[in-house]
A and B are shown apart, each in its own frame.
Chain A
């Protein structure tokens, strides 16, 4: 199989890949949790902190203006990257979790009332479950979840059926962090909107691996974390449709998000996007995330997706030959996430012995306990691929699993 990417050239941009773990070369297969950082991103953060750090939007001095320019330039990089119509539709948040909490609080507390239905799916990450449960508990609303089929595909019949409950909000993940399932987000959005719902998509597992276009998806909200997309931790993005964001009240109060503050007359709020960005933002994070997205575009997201698909199909092909190994999630359309269990072997044992061989995978429930309940398993072993992984690393994974199983069985 010929890969679409020059992985050697890409790997040379990631200093961390030179290190060893337990005396073995690092094989990093935990991209669904977080991606490593290319030099461009590391340098962007270092340069910001060394040359033009200052607070944004409020200084007349040169540093503040440079910092503000870079911060706002990063916002427009995000806008073009995801195809948003307006710059002010891009809100900086701490990560996908923070973005969903913003929507559940700022939008949810105004629009969700007693007896209303919020529709999610059984494959959601806890970040797209718990904020809705908290809102539902406060308002006396109900959270309903769409079922999944045995292979980890979303049950579209059940989705249709539950749309008849007239949910006010439909929130679902674009790509599953545990099953690898790629949901047909455009189709699901269109169905949900026809039923009159507002739609939020958790794009954490999609954005680093495929081209995302919010105009095409036609969703109302789209969230993602920067650190899974080769950017820093602590920064992420909430995209919101302008008309909806404009009608929403702020969530957090503080500096940056005000127009005028008076102890006598009360406070008026700033316009978009700043009314949702109280306090000093993660400036270096935003700047470096902009660089990370440019880096991804430079590599080519279409090639990244092709490459990761080759790696994961090869991993599925080779792992599938191992006696007693079963994939959790084998939908027709999957990302670079491969989750599996082995008869009579605890995922923790397998993960520990892989780690000892320098192979970083994730074991456990991956913050998706409802999926574990669905399959009645304690957890899975999950390998998730990134742009710089190679077919040799797939071989290392398979050999590592075989060696570990020899010891465990």
Chain B
């Protein structure tokens, strides 16, 4: 529904933007103890898998988050196979599973359990690797910009959600090798549509999702830049995610995608995003973050 909100605020911007104004401020925030944050998004791409453990920082801390060292990190599947993640000696908090040659991590349909032992406490989470359809193609099209002479080129990917309701995906895009990872670039789908109950099962991904692979950057004057120029390439990775992960990313998007302006009229209150990781001890330390295992299909194309 983000698109709809964006749409409304765009319209509103026209007459009223002149009068509104935004100021960067530095309010004093309550202090809080650091909490373990788990960044465990694994996939079956042919590469090493990394789980990053960090500690939360004060909100305005402008440094990289401190790594959480000395943890024991293990992932096991329901067939009893155990994957050990060992801490990278050069990067505190990065725990790596070295991929044996010719193997990938996990298999579609398997269930996985994450177990982290850190400072005497055990944190656990589980996930399942879902199926993913292949990407048929990536296409580019150029449209004249509304109200201007120049044009905008955008990409879209083409794929069909397999029959059977309840497949959830995260579509991640690399533009010229750089991951588009801004909050507004989170592109998730439920079957081929936005959300559950949408009856968009077993069809081609709907337009906003197909087109959700573009960066929508603006120059300093606020003019939208063409997402694609001659010579650019897009690499689209369609990741299967669990329903929990889909809900989680929805929350992340709501909480982090704050373009400001009149969209604030329709902004939901700040709230903590959930986690699927739990402390085995009921009254133990809090934990943040997410564990998900994806299967991935990829496709890339250069715009010539």
Q: Do A and B come from one complex?
A: no
Interface residues of B (CB under 8 A from A): none
